[in-house]
Amino acid sequence: MYAQMVKSEASNDDPALLAAFQARIDAGEKIEPKEWMPEGYRKTLIRQIGQHAHSEIVGQLPEGNWITRAPTLERKAILLAKVQDEAGHGLYLYCAAETLGVSRDELTEALLSGKMKYSSIFNYPTLTWADMGAVGWLVDGAAIMNQVPLQRTSFGPYARAMVRICKEESFHQRQGYDIMMKMARGTPEQKAMAQDALNRFWYPSLMMFGPSDKDSVHSAQSMAWKIKMNTNDELRQKFVDQTVPQAEYLGLTIPDPAVKWNEEKGGYDFSEPDWTEFFEVIKGNGPCNAERIEARQKAWEDGAWFRDGLMAHAAKQRTAQVAAE
Ligand code: 3HC
């Protein structure tokens, strides 16, 4: 079902309707769920919003791994709140996708069967407490860089979900940076852990923005429809420009000797991530892909009785309502 919905972006839509639609997009209007939209637009949104929702849900796993091992009660409470926020983000995004005519069950099944992706970053393990700092600082930092422009995306429900998500992501990023600051200014062992976490998360964070522009399949059409507001490389550059001075402030070293301010372009030069690794990870061959899907599969199966109970309750309520009318 999901495959049918997103299989082809080629459109048989009426050219006059398409032109009128594009004029609305160009004029900066928001498109709402019940309004006419090209099939390709709807499919692209289902793919992107659905994958984004899955990323929020799967993204709870690497950090959930550390809730019971947080070093203080305060850190535990903060981490717990952050992970709960991610669950909330997933739910807003599934709701936004549902307005396009796909159910949450269909999206979940597409994730579990491997038809739908989630962000490559969550296929890397979180090995030490410093990784909680690196994830908050870099991963949530990259997510904000990508998502702030999406507050202006053309599809109303997606843009509105992004406003709240971005506020919460800013808190997440700050809490990650705060952990890094404590570690970087702690004992030599703690500073070494912070550096090690930066070393492991740097390139995977750069990969979050997607392949380089020349290999990005969807960017051109998605930008014409204002589903995406920037290219992958533009956002990656902005992220590097923001992050390098933050690493300097921490007294940590970006694990890329090519990082150097380039006066002419007004940004840092840096090395590309290993794109072979990226494509392997999104094909399912990253360090934690199997473990992440297994965890989601188990959660789906364990929750079946609850979903069944809710449906039975709703059916009973409907019957009672009909009888009363
Ligand atoms: N991880 C997994 N797959 C990726 C990817 C990544 N980092 N980057 C690109 N891809 C996939 C695309 O989905 C596409 O595959 P598909 O055709 O099977 O869907 C393929 O690689 C080609 O890439 P494109 O550049 O053509 O794809 P897009 O135009 O969709 O751009 C994107 C990719 C920039 C990630 C875009 O989809 C986007 O902006 N998505 C919304 C934001 C999002 O999903 N963020 C997830 C981050 S994690 C998060 O938010 C959780 C927070 O708590 C940290």
Inside any domain, residue 1: no
Does residue 55 have its Cβ closer than 6 Å to ligand 1?
yes
For 44, the domain range is 16-323
pLDDT recorded at residue 13:
79
Inside any domain, residue 10: no
Q: Which ligand 1 atom minimizes the distance to the CA of 44? A: 30
Does residue 290 have its Cβ closer than 6 Å to ligand 1?
no
Neighbours of 69 (CB within 10 A): 12
Inside any domain, residue 32: yes
pLDDT recorded at residue 7:
47
Does residue 282 have its Cβ closer than 6 Å to ligand 1?
yes
Q: pLDDT by residue (tens digit) across 293-311?
A: 999 999 999 999 999 999 9
- Who contacts 64 (Cβ-Cβ below 8 Å, separation ≥6)? 83
Inside any domain, residue 269: yes
- Who contacts 27 (Cβ-Cβ below 8 Å, separation ≥6)? none
Q: pLDDT by residue (tens digit) across 147-199?
A: 999 999 999 999 999 999 999 999 999 999 999 999 999 999 999 999 999 99
Pick the residue whose CA is nearest to atom 44 on ligand 1: 52
Inside any domain, residue 8: no
Does residue 234 have its Cβ closer than 6 Å to ligand 1?
no
Pick the residue whose CA is nearest to atom 5 on ligand 1: 210
In the reported structure, the alpha carbon of residue 106 is separated from the centroid of ligand 1 by a whole-number distance in angstroms of: 19
Give the whole-number percent of the chain exceeding pLDDT 70: 96
Determine the Cα–Cα distance for residues 308 and 291; give it in Å rounded to an integer. Answer: 26
pLDDT recorded at residue 2:
54
Inside any domain, residue 153: yes
CATH label of the domain that carries residue 58: 1.20.1260.10
Does residue 216 have its Cβ closer than 6 Å to ligand 1?
yes
pLDDT recorded at residue 192:
98
Q: What is the count of structural domains for the chain? A: 1
In the reported structure, the alpha carbon of residue 47 is separated from the centroid of ligand 1 by a whole-number distance in angstroms of: 9
Inside any domain, residue 173: yes
Q: Which of 115, 138, 146, 135 is nearest to 61 (CA)?
A: 135
Inside any domain, residue 9: no
pLDDT recorded at residue 9:
47
